Amino acid sequence: MIQPAFSDPVLRSGLRVAQANLPTRYGTFTAMVFEEVASGCQETALVMGDINDGRPVLARLHSECLTGDVLGSLRCDCGPQLAAALGAIAAEGRGVLLYLRQEGRGIGLYHKLQAYALQEQGLDTVEANERLGFPADLRDYRLAARILHLLGVRGIRLLTNNPKKLHSLESAGIEVVGRVPLLIPPNAENLFYLRTKQEKMGHLFGDGHLDDHPLDDLDDGGGPPADRRRET
């Protein structure tokens, strides 16, 4: 069993934790649910190996995406990123994945579907959030950083394409010693979305990763209108 940096199940920090082994298709993790007692907010950590020995830990902070993670949506790359992250941690035999309940970059499932509807009218993912009155990204990693501290993690190698996530964690006191890309081949449904994340949100996909798939060669399956897509 993991021995976090506490002994009492109800923590002085206002979090309590339940944990059990979780065998998965990737390997066996220790699943831990941290509940913030005051709010009832729950976050899940999947831990493999010894992560509080002082060495940097391979880590993924994955924000919940019901449509991508569970339902197999092709509108984003969340599901394959989740699978690739768990696979990478299992391959190293050591690491942690935090599954964070901030659906739709923090706007929630209802508003995410509203944003999808706006994207079907031609807005991109950033414009759609803003049309609904939200910033492009509402996610907050402070509770995730607290959980990493409780797990004894001090330095991480972060599985992400999002450089802003590195800065958010560092400002919350987690040392990010490196970034490990999570590059998923794009599909016809998510290429415009991924390019928007690259161009407007600074996501790093590496040279050519999104360029090798000319839009005209891809199936038209309900993405942004064709005139809009050719602009990119």
Catalytic residue numbers? 137, 139
- How many residues line the site for Zn ion (CB under 5 A)? 4
Least separation in angstroms between residue 43's CB and Zn ion is 18
Strand 155-159 to strand 57-63: parallel, antiparallel, or no bridges (unpaired)?
Answer: parallel
Q: Which is nearer to Zn ion, 78 or 89 (CB)?
A: 78
Q: Which is nearer to Zn ion, 2 or 115 (CB)?
A: 115
Q: Of these, 76, 86, 98, 126, which contacts Zn ion (CB under 5 A)?
A: 76
Q: Which residues contact 106 (CB under 8 A, 6 or more apart)?
A: 63, 134, 137, 138, 139, 140
Q: Which residues contact 23 (CB under 8 A, 6 or more apart)?
A: none
Does position 68 bind Zn ion by CB under 5 A?
Answer: yes
Q: Which residues contact 145 (CB under 8 A, 6 or more apart)?
A: 169, 172, 173, 174
Which one-letter DSSP state was computed for residue 64? P
CB of 215 within 8 A of CB of 229? yes
Mark the segment that binds Zn ion (CB under 5 A) among 62-70, 106-114, 124-132, 209-217: 62-70
Q: Which is nearer to Zn ion, 102 or 168 (CB)?
A: 102
Beta bridge partners of 36: 15
Does position 78 bind Zn ion by CB under 5 A?
Answer: yes
Q: Which is nearer to Zn ion, 37 or 117 (CB)?
A: 117
Q: How many CA atoms lie less than 13 Å away from 68 in the CB half-sphere? A: 23
Does position 65 bind Zn ion by CB under 5 A?
Answer: yes
Mark the segment that binds Zn ion (CB under 5 A) among 59-67, 101-109, 114-122, 177-185: 59-67
Q: How many CA atoms lie less than 13 Å away from 186 in the CB half-sphere? A: 25
Longest dimension (CA), the chain: 59
Mark the segment that binds Zn ion (CB under 5 A) among 43-51, 64-72, 133-141, 179-187: 64-72
Does position 184 bind Zn ion by CB under 5 A?
Answer: no
Using CB under 5 A as the criterion, which residues of the chain lie in contact with Zn ion when the complex forms?
A: 65, 68, 76, 78
